[in-house]
Structure 1
Amino acid sequence: MGLQYSGKNMTTSSLPVLEGSDPRLKLTVGNRIRNVFVTQLEDTRHRKEEHVNYLPVVTETSSRVLEAGVNTLLKTLVLKKQAELDKVDQQLTLKRQEFKNRMEALSWRKSELELKQQQTTERLMKFEKFVAENEVKRRRALQKYEATLELDISKQREIGDLTDQLKQLRARKQVLKERMSKYKIYEDYLMKTIDHFPSTYLDNGSESLVMPIIRRHETLTITHQELLQRLRSLEEEVEQGRPQLLIMKQEHSIKTLMANKELSDLQSELETLRETNKQAEVNLLLEQDLSRQKVEEEGRLLMAINNLAEQCYLSTYGPLENMNMLTMMDMVKEYILDKADTERRARRLMESGSAMTSRNSSDRQKREGVNEKHPQ
C-alpha cells in the first residue's frame, strides 16, 4: 500500500501538468471557400446543401498536428492515471480502515486475554493457598490424631493398670472380709466379755490395755487417710503432667526427624565432598605424574648436556664445574661447528689432492706415450 502511494506521488511529479488553455492542444480548422467545379450551375453554387457532412480542412503543419496529438494523449494518460490513483487511494483508505478495525479487535481480544490470564493467575494463587491451608490443616489433624491416639493408648494402659489394681483390691477385700468373718466370733466374745465387766473397770483408761491399741489404730487410720490423699494428689499431678509429657515426646520426635534430615543432608554433602576429594586426588596424582615425567625429562636432558660438554670440552671456557647450561650448550655448539669446519677443510684438501694426483697421473701417462712414440 505504501508502494502504491509513493507510485502515485512519483507519477504526478514526473508527468507535466497540461492546462486546458494551452494553445498547443487546440486544433485550428479554417472555414474556407468550398471547391466549385466549373460545370456546376451558378444558382446551385451558393445553395446550402442538406445532409452533407463537411470534412474540416487542416491548415496546420504535420509537426504541429503531431505535437497537439501527443499532448492530448499525454493529458488523457495523466487523467487516466489520476483516476487509477484515486481508485487506489480509495482502496488504500478502505484497507487502512479495515486494518484499524482489525487492530482494535486485536487490542480488545488482547485485553480480554490479559484479563482472563489475570483471573486464571488469581484462581491459581487462591487454589495454591487453599491447597497449602488444607495441607496445614491435614498436618494439624494428623498431629492431633497422633496425640489423641497416643493419649488413648496411655488411657487404655492406665485403665488396664487400674483394672488390675481393682482386681487386687477386690481380692484383698474378699480376703479381709473372710478374715473379718473369721475373727467375728472373737469380737463377739470380747464384746460379751466387756458387757460382763463392771462399769468402774472401763472408766480407768490409763490402766486399760485396749485404749492404746485403739489410739494406735486411730493414728494409723489418720495416717492412712493422709497417705491416700497424698497419693491422689500425686496421681493428679501425674495426670496433669501427661499432656506435657506427650508434647515433649512430640517435640522430641520432631527434633529427631529434623536431626535425621540434617544428618542425611550432611551425609550426602559428605559423600559429595568425598567424591570431589577423590577427583582432586586423581587430578593431583595426574599432575604429580606429569611433573615427575617432566622432571625426569629435564634430568635426562641435563645429563645429556653434561655428557656432551664433557666430550666437547674446550679449555677457553674455563673449568667444566663452573659452567651453566647455556655456556655448556654454546661450547658444544662451537665444538660441533669447529669439527664441521675441520671436516669440510679436510674433504677439500682430499679432493684437491685426488685431483692433483689424477692430473699428475694423466701427465705421466702422456709423457710415457710421447716417449714411446719418439724413442731416443
Structure 2
Amino acid sequence: MTTSQPFLDRSDPRLKLTVENRTKNVFVTQPEDRPKEEHVNLIPVVTETPCRLLEAGLNTLQKTLVLQKEAELEEVSRQLSLKQQEFQSRVEGLAQRRSELELKQQQNAERVSKFEKFVAESELKQHQALKKYKDAREQNNIKQKDIERLTNKLIQRRDRQHVLKDRMTKYKIYEDYLVKTINFLPSSYLENDSESLVLPIIRRHETLSITHQELLQRLEKMEDEVEQKQQQLQTMKQEHSIKTLMGNKELSELQNELEGLKDMNKQAEVSLQMEQGQSREKVEEVGSILMAINNLAEHCYLPSYGALEDINVLTMMDMVKEYFLDKADTERRARSLMESGSAVAPLTDKKGRGSMRNMGSKAQIKSPSKVSKKSDSLS
C-alpha cells in the first residue's frame, strides 16, 4: 500500500522567513559607566544565590551588594581572628599541658629510678639478712653441739660430785676423829713440836689434792683432744670412702676402656690377617700372570727386541702383541688371496690349515689378553 503525501502551498506565509532587528542582551557589572546604545538591553550580572536575591530584592544595586560583601568579609575576618585567638589559646594550653606532662614523666622517671634503687637495696639487704640468718643458724648448730657436749660433761661432773660426796661421808668419821684428837691435845703441842706427824700429812694431802686437780684438768684436755681426734678420724674415714668410690669408678672406666681396646685389637688382628691373605692371593696371582707372560714371550720371541732376559714385562707384552698382529695380518692376506682365486688348491689347503692354526692361536690368545689386563690393573 502507498500513502499520498500532503500538498504544500508556496503562498502560505508560514513558509516565509522573516528576520527582525532584535535587541542585544549585554551582561554588565557597572551599568552607570557604560554609554547607552540603541537596541541594547542591559542585564546586570547576578552572582548571589536565589535566597539572597529574594531577601535583598531584585533591584538592589551592585555597590550595595559590594558593601554587603565587605561587611560579610569583615564579619568573617573577625570570626577568623577569634578562631585564631582561640586556636592560639588552645595551642598555649596544649604547650602548657605538654610541659606539665613532661614534668610528670620526669617525676615518674625519678620515682622509677628511686624505686629501682630501693628494690636493689632491699634485695641487697635481703641477701645480707639471708646470709646472716645462715651464719646464725650455723652458729646455733655449733652452740647446740657445744651445749650438748657441756651437758654431758656436767652430767659427768655431777656423777663425780656424787661419788666424792659419798667418799666424803665415808671419810667424815676419820676427820671427826682427828679433830677430836687435836682438841684433846694441849695447845702448846702443835706450836712447840715442829716435827709433828700431822703437818706433813696435811701438806701431803694438799699436794695430792692439787695434783688431783691438775690431773683432772689434764684428763679433760685429753678427753677434748680425743673427741677432736675422733672427729678427724670420722672425716678421714668419709674422705677415704669417697676416694675409694672414685677409685672404683675410675677403675671400672679403665676396665671398660681396656675391653674396648681389646676388641679393637681383635678386629685389627682379623683385618690384618684378611689383608695378609689377600696380599698372598695377589702375590700368587701376579706370579702366575708373570709366568704366563714369560711363557708367551718365549713362544712369540722377536729378535728385534733383543735378548729375552733383558726385556721387561711391558716390552714382552708389546712383543707378544706385535707377534699376534703380524700373524693376524698374514691370515688376512691369505684369506684375500683365497677370495681372489689366484692361489693353487694345495696352497689354499696349506693356507686353510694355517688359518685354522691361527684361529686356534687366537682362541689361545684370549686368556693372555685377560692376563695382560689384570697386570695393567695391578700396575
Larger RCO (alpha carbons 8 Å, 6+ apart): 1
Q: TM-score range by the shorter chain?
A: 0.3 to 0.5
TM-score (norm 1): 0.44
